[in-house]
Chain A
Amino acid sequence: MAYPTQGAGRDGTQDDTLMSLRGVTLAFGPKVIQKDISFDIRRGSIFAVMGGSGCGKSTVLKSMIGLLRPAAGDYLVDGDAYWTADAAHREAVSRRFGVLFQSAALWSSLTVGENVALPMQMLTKMDPATIRDQVELKLGLVGMLHTIDQYPSELSGGMKKRAGLARAMALDPDILFFDEPSAGLDPITSARLDDLILNLRDGLGATIVIVSHELPSLFAIADDGIFLDAKTRTPIAHGAPSWLRDHCDEPQVHAFMHRERETESGRTD
């Protein structure tokens, strides 16, 4: 590949690849956000999508969870094309996804507990008692049990994020997408969240795709990642954040990983 890539030439045995993007271009109408994105996500890995604000990280996530059809390129889940498949197949695949949105996107007319319960009520045949137990379990995992009867408008930004995390886990998905999960959390909760994410991966065998700016947590948990550049609108580096920190000379990436000011104009904060 043309840009710095960790483990380039590693013999890519296909069966450990869960999802791949092949030359994906994302656009809103005529406005191209990112082009020529290609990467594979290994089963059970924690994959980081990195880059400056506004470079299109959330947009990449949006296309991976089925909300934005790519303008070009292929997206494969377990070897099957996602976007060219029929709606039923896409829905079946999407049932394996759990998503924490950047804005948390809790349903504002429901309490926190009802937010976690709704997918189970609508999509499964679980009985109310089991659902109640599951809701308490999932809110307990993120430390939000005490807010079970509160409405989203009564929560702080970080609490919404954690409630959203609990909701993302509602149906025990095996692929989790987190858009800036620790933004707005205090350092201690944020560190606990890292542990939670690692435990989820290990405990549930989930694969996790994460958008994050928290360098310490990226270095601690992510095994692989892609770096999107805002100016050229395309990925410019590929590898684990800690590997990129130590081995990538690309100035944008270097500046991001070392929290430095960039030499040229444009910021990566």
Chain B
Amino acid sequence: MSPGPRRLPVFSAPATGALRYGEPVNTTDHGPEWSLETGGNANVIVLSGDWIAQQGHIPDFPSDGLRQARPGQPLAFRTDGLGRWDTGMIGFLWALKQGAAQAHLDLDTETLPDAARKLLDLLPDRPAPHGPPPRRRFAPLAAIGGSTIDGLTEIGTVTELGIETARGGMASLTGRGRMRLTDLMSNIRDAGPSALVIVSVVNFLVGAILAFVGAVQLRKFAADIYVASLVGIAMVREMSAVMTAIIMAGRTGGAYAARIATMQGNEEIDALTVFGIPVSSYLILPSILSLTATMPFLYLYGSLVGMLGGFAVAISMLSVTGAGYLHQTLNAVALDQFAFGFVKSIFFAILIGLTSCRIGLRAGRSAADVGVAATRAVVVGIVGVIALDAIFAIIATTIGL
């Protein structure tokens, strides 16, 4: 025989009845009912039936419910027929209490069940008034002006933050190190190697898609081999850098913003501020540095994988040999194209790092604000990357790169 669980001695009063409030329970099978009896020079509220909130049917106490009551006489209760009850009844009694106060009637709560009286006594005289929500005025000019000013201020703040971070970076370089190497290393680990898989998949597919699109057109002119040039130039000049940046904006930018916004909510940023630990060198600098250290290499890797995707499509669909494809690629893609993409990647990294940290820092302090900050960082990052890429395209065209 197993010994079974050891029982600890229990020192407690015997449990009172089945019901929570310990009153003798009538078993009734009908819903809540009430009435006001005014016979015999007294006001008596008669309560009967089950008053259970979750079963519904709890009546509202009407605002004119006490019109028939005799003035000057206290309101008593009769609860002979009362069955089970819970806070549903208390809600009703609360409304009744307010009605009685308005009609200048005293409430004789002694005649209520003991437990009900105690709960009723806890409640304030009237619920908090909730007025209509403040109306938002529609003022388009003011709104446009306001958001323009906000936008300009924000650009100024981000620039200031960037300068401060750069200054922190210089200080670290000259050995007055205020950035911890461990923070940088862990950030790099998060940003770089763990993004390899998604960067590979996306760039491989983009390369393959470009090859498909090109193949359909170029086959008409028997210019199959130029698929290699198309894929190579497109990947190296534009697609790999932009795709990698978009991936990093979604992955790392969103994570930075969420992390900093959470720190904001936990007063962790306040703690840094009070110590005088600059947020720019403790949080922002490692973030930006880790992105600038990893993104250019992810870009290079992405270009190669993209060309591999194009290669796979070309030799399976077109009359192109592997050696021919390789030769054509090497011919078409000059080294300065790589340099162009490399430099763009660095700028994208700075943009993503700076904006996502800034968005995290200006976030509010609630859980919802963390979500908003992460979303905003991703959106701003993606739009910013594409806009910056357009600017680069214009510059490149102007200087004939």
The interface of chain A, by Cβ under 8 A from chain B, is: 62, 65-67, 91, 94-95, 97, 99, 101, 103, 105-109, 118-119, 121-123, 167, 170-171, 265
Contact = CB atoms under 8 A, between A and B. Distances in A.
Interface string B146-188: 0000000000000000000000000000000010100000000
Interface residues of B, number: 19
Question: What are the 4 closest A-B residue pairs judged by CB atoms, nearest first?
Answer: A105-B267, A105-B271, A119-B275, A122-B277
A121 B270 contact: no
A29 to B, nearest CB: 13
B163 to A, nearest CB: 15
A107 B268 contact: yes
Which of B272, B273, B276: most chain A Cβ within 10 A?
B276
Given A108-B263, A122-B282, A94 B274 contact: yes
A88 to B, nearest CB: 11
Given A99-B271, A105-B271, A107-B271, A123 B266 contact: no
Contacts of A105: 266-268, 270-271
30 contacts: A65-B274, A66-B273, A67-B273, A67-B274, A94-B274, A94-B276, A95-B276, A103-B267, A105-B266, A105-B267, A105-B268, A105-B270, A105-B271, A106-B271, A107-B272, A108-B262, A108-B266, A109-B259, A118-B180, A118-B277, A119-B277, A121-B180, A122-B178, A122-B180, A122-B277, A122-B281, A123-B275, A123-B277, A167-B271, A171-B275
B124 interface: yes
Given A103-B267, A108-B266, A265-B124, A97 B274 contact: yes
Contacts of B275: 94, 119, 122-123, 170-171
A265 B267 CA distance: 32
A255 to B, nearest CB: 18
Given A66-B274, A170-B275, A171-B275, 8 more contacts: A67-B274, A94-B275, A95-B276, A101-B267, A107-B271, A108-B268, A118-B277, A121-B180
B365 to A, nearest CB: 11
Nearest to A92: B276
Nearest to A107: B268
A118 B275 CA distance: 10
Contacts of A95: 276
A65 B275 CA distance: 10
Contacts of A99: 271, 274
Nearest to A65: B274
B266 A103 contact: yes
A67 B276 contact: no
Contacts of A121: 180
Nearest to B275: A119
A19 B133 CA distance: 43
A95 B263 CA distance: 21
A106 B276 contact: no
Interface in B271-321: 271-277, 281-282
A80 B310 CA distance: 70
Contact of B268 (A62, A65, A106, A170): A106
Nearest to A117: B180
Contact of A67 (B262, B263, B266, B270): B270
B19 to A, nearest CB: 29
Nearest to B180: A121
Contact of A107 (B263, B274, B276, B281): B263
Nearest to B182: A114
A67 B124 CA distance: 36
A101 B282 contact: no
Which of B266, B268, B272: most chain A Cβ within 10 A?
B268
A265 B259 CA distance: 42
Nearest to B273: A67
B28 to A, nearest CB: 37
Contacts of A171: 275
A122 B179 CA distance: 7
A259 B271 CA distance: 33
